[in-house]
Structure 1
Amino acid sequence: MQSVLISGAGIAGAALAHLLCRRGFAPTVVERAPGLRAGGQAIDVRGVALDVLDRIGVLGQAREVRTRVRGMSVLDADGTEIDRSTEYALSSGRLDGDDIEVLREDLVRLLYERTREDVAYVFGDSVGALTEDADGVVVEFAHAPARRFDLVVGADGLHSAVRRLAFGPEEHFTRHLGSYLSVFGAANFLGLEDWQVWMRDGDAGFGIMPVRDNRELRVAFGFESAPLERGTDLKALVVERLAGLRWEGDRLAKAALEAPDFYCDAMAQIHLDRWSRGRAVLIGDAGHCPSPLSGQGTSLALVGAYVLADALAAAAGDHAAAFAAYESRMRPFVTVNQALATENPGGPASEESVARAKNAIALDG
């Protein structure tokens, strides 16, 4: 039984852990956070990724906790409605389709609960060093004693530690897309009921949606910017930018300042010539982040986990052959989905492009 260390207990990591268990592997998941990460934006699961959730056994539950929305309003900078739709939402696409939108924390929880009895999870620790030899990889951790694994998987996001250790500095693989995105929760001070509002003011804008039976809001605030210096206080910057908005700026700034789940990062993509090196391999955002602008990060994570698990099972212990098969199958799918983020700068990709990209791979191909 091959042992596999998975760095990251997010969607890609938890999905892969479950799929590997079913195929006879022994996965361990290490997560830097002290527990499952709360907060985060509503995420889309589209096309073939729905089949992955179905095969994992959580699609029904995911549909039960999906976000509910009747439509959206588009506002000008003063808060005056200039457009509305009851057929389409900017966060999720058409409202009458089979695709679903769920809160990230809800999907992570479903995947974790599906795996927790069979998978060893180690929270509050992280990978510090990798030393590979002919028999495996010795992994040094920030806190726990070093351990040997047959394989190591980086499912640890845009700022992947496994990628840095196995491939080199992050800046070698990052393509900045010219903006930053902040996401945070707040009380529903706008009184929204299953209705989104979207607004743009100059080079900044936001989408606000009610969640948790309209008790809470999720605010996604974006602003154009060149890459900021490492160490920039992003929270202070976001609060300042929000306070400068003409409509609801003060209340949004206060909510961001007080939010315990505040998040902000660059809109960027990851591009590597290869996603594996030796016994280490990358999945999800760690290997090929498309950025939230694509709307397909979650789908790429789920499909990538499935394809990698299948490739490892079929290779009968030959990890080099498995990684090559994984890359061969996934790269065309990644390429077409990453392109969604840059097709229409400042706006969403066309429905036709999304429809083509979300089904551009067959699970059993």
Structure 2
Amino acid sequence: MNERILISGASIAGLTLAHWLARHGFRPTVIERAAALRDGGNGVDVREHAVEVVERMGVMSRIRRRATDVHGMKFVDADDRAVARIDIRNPDTVEIMRGDLVALLREVTDVDYLFGDSIRTMEQDDDGVTVTFEHAHARRFDLVVGADGLHSHVRRLTFGPEDEFLRFEDHYFAFADAEASLGEDRWVTMFNTPGRMAGIYRSGNHAQAKAYFMFRSPRLEYDHRDIAEHKRLVRERFAGGRAWRTAQLLDSALADPEFYFDALAQVRMPTWWAGRVALVGDAAWCASPASGAGAELALIGAYRLAGELAAAGGDHRVAFARYETVHRPLVDKRQRIGPNVRLMIPRTTGGRRVRDAVARVPLTKAVGAVERLLRNRNAASLPDYSRPAETPSRSSPGSTAAEPIRCAAHTRGC
């Protein structure tokens, strides 16, 4: 039932979903706009229940071998003197570069792929979804899942314009390859001026460093696919800076053809599915990079979505509703990002001094350790969907009828 499933997006959520769907006997196809897997990106955390997911996929040992080995964050003044350090090492969390994680997920995900193509239209009916593509011939699928990120095309086609669901967090960020000699090995070095941050990320296990830029701003109008325009916006905010190593870092980053820029934003949706179309990952709930939870939510959410489809025998109405019910509490929690942005981008010189003073207090690390202990103590294991559970038939006494198919205003048919 509903075996043929199209997944739009070959990143963490899309590949994890494809892997587990195939394991459960479905026939997923992954479509990706890029000509190949995107190997860029910053460091991402595999933590808490996400560790269970990758262990069950058989890639945790390889993730540990390719971990970034970053010790913490270092805040510096204009003369490159360290004014505060925060040790972020956590034995329960493994940080890995996004591109490395995607490559590992691809190694264990043997499904059909369509690279260099994208969805043009989708039309739902009682029996499936007719999908047309930019290049390939039209095909029929039983279900479609959008795992295509913050600017999801599937979300736009199914639910409406992204402005209805994106919550702008008053900042923009960029990252790109950078000259490694500009930063300290195994540390994320950050330099602040009011409302701005320039930084460099140096992994202990990677020769290539990453430059980071973030700035506070009202909403800007720009094409999210125009890299030249992205570089111009960042250059305007940081060009002319003579303090620290900002100028050298900017020159290094602007030379990277894979320069990445976007708004710091969250996706807030009342529901993640409509009829035969569902969303997963940033397309459904982006918590923003400031949360540090993107990979965690993507791995767990994709695992749950595939598992609920298997548990429901492919009945998307039951599975989609259940997936949303069980995963939304974690999403809601991770979208409360707290003081992270204020920590990285103090609005004033006084705010920066307060941040530096707090960061120097040894209690900071102790508080983090206590929080991790409490989370681990209260956390229940993820369900093992490979073990069949007895489910009552819809006609049996006490059973719950499936919810009716829901369709968004922008969806043609159900």
Percent same amino acid among aligned pairs? 46
Does the Cα contact within 8 Å between 1:276 and 1:282 map onto a contact in 2?
yes
Would you say 1:337 and 2:334 are equivalent positions? yes
Specify the alignment match of 2:352 in structure 1: none
Taking structure 1 as reference, are residues 269 and 309 closer, same or farther at Cα in structure 2, changes over 3 Å only?
Answer: same
Does the Cα contact within 8 Å between 1:289 and 1:297 map onto a contact in 2?
yes
Residues 167-198 of structure 1, C-alpha deviations (whole Å, 9 max, x = no match): 00000001001101101012313263223312
Specify the alignment match of 1:238 in structure 2: 234
Secondary structure of 1:211's aligned partner? coil
Would you say 1:68 and 2:87 are equivalent positions? no
Does the Cα contact within 8 Å between 2:30 and 2:114 map onto a contact in 1?
yes
Taking structure 1 as reference, are residues 362 and 311 closer, same or farther at Cα in structure 2, changes over 3 Å only?
Answer: same
Q: Distance in 2 between matches of 1:180 and 1:18?
A: 33
Q: Distance in 1 between matches of 2:373 and 2:124?
A: 41
Q: Distance in 2 between matches of 1:96 and 1:295?
A: 14
Q: Distance in 2 between matches of 1:130 and 1:243?
A: 44
Specify the alignment match of 2:343 in structure 1: 347
Would you say 1:190 and 2:182 are equivalent positions? yes
Would you say 1:284 and 2:278 are equivalent positions? no
Q: How many residues align?
A: 355
Residues 214-233 of structure 1, C-alpha deviations (whole Å, 9 max, x = no match): 52211121111121113382
List aligned pairs for 1:170-185, cutoff 5 A: 170-185=162-177
CA drift at 1:33 = 0.6
The one-letter amino acid of 1:57's match is: G
Would you say 1:299 and 2:296 are equivalent positions? yes
Specify the alignment match of 2:149 in structure 1: 157
Q: Distance in 1 between matches of 2:34 and 2:324?
A: 29
Secondary structure of 1:34's aligned partner? coil
The one-letter amino acid of 1:290's match is: A
Does the Cα contact within 8 Å between 2:148 and 2:283 map onto a contact in 1?
yes
Residues 116-142 of structure 1, C-alpha deviations (whole Å, 9 max, x = no match): xx2001110011111011110001111
Specify the alignment match of 2:270 in structure 1: 273
Residues 44-84 of structure 1, C-alpha deviations (whole Å, 9 max, x = no match): 11111111111111111001000013444211244322112
Larger Rg: 2
Residues 78-122 of structure 1, C-alpha deviations (whole Å, 9 max, x = no match): 43221124xx1xxxx3x142201100000000001111xx20011
Specify the alignment match of 1:364 in structure 2: 383
- State the Cα RMSD in Å: 2.1
Specify the alignment match of 2:94 in structure 1: 100
Secondary structure of 2:148's aligned partner? coil
Does the Cα contact within 8 Å between 1:195 and 1:210 map onto a contact in 2?
yes
The one-letter amino acid of 1:239's match is: R
CA drift at 1:156 = 0.3
Specify the alignment match of 1:124 in structure 2: 116
Taking structure 1 as reference, are residues 248 and 34 closer, same or farther at Cα in structure 2, changes over 3 Å only?
Answer: same
CA drift at 1:145 = 0.7
Taking structure 1 as reference, are residues 343 and 357 closer, same or farther at Cα in structure 2, changes over 3 Å only?
Answer: farther
Q: Which moved more, 1:313-322 or 1:18-27?
A: 313-322
Taking structure 1 as reference, are residues 342 and 194 closer, same or farther at Cα in structure 2, changes over 3 Å only?
Answer: closer
Specify the alignment match of 1:50 in structure 2: 51
In structure 2, list runs of 5 or more residues that go unmatched: 345-363, 385-414
Specify the alignment match of 2:161 in structure 1: 169
Does the Cα contact within 8 Å between 2:39 and 2:102 map onto a contact in 1?
no
In structure 1, list runs of 5 or more residues that go unmatched: none
CA drift at 1:199 = 1.7
Q: Distance in 2 between matches of 1:345 and 1:210?
A: 21
Would you say 1:109 and 2:103 are equivalent positions? yes
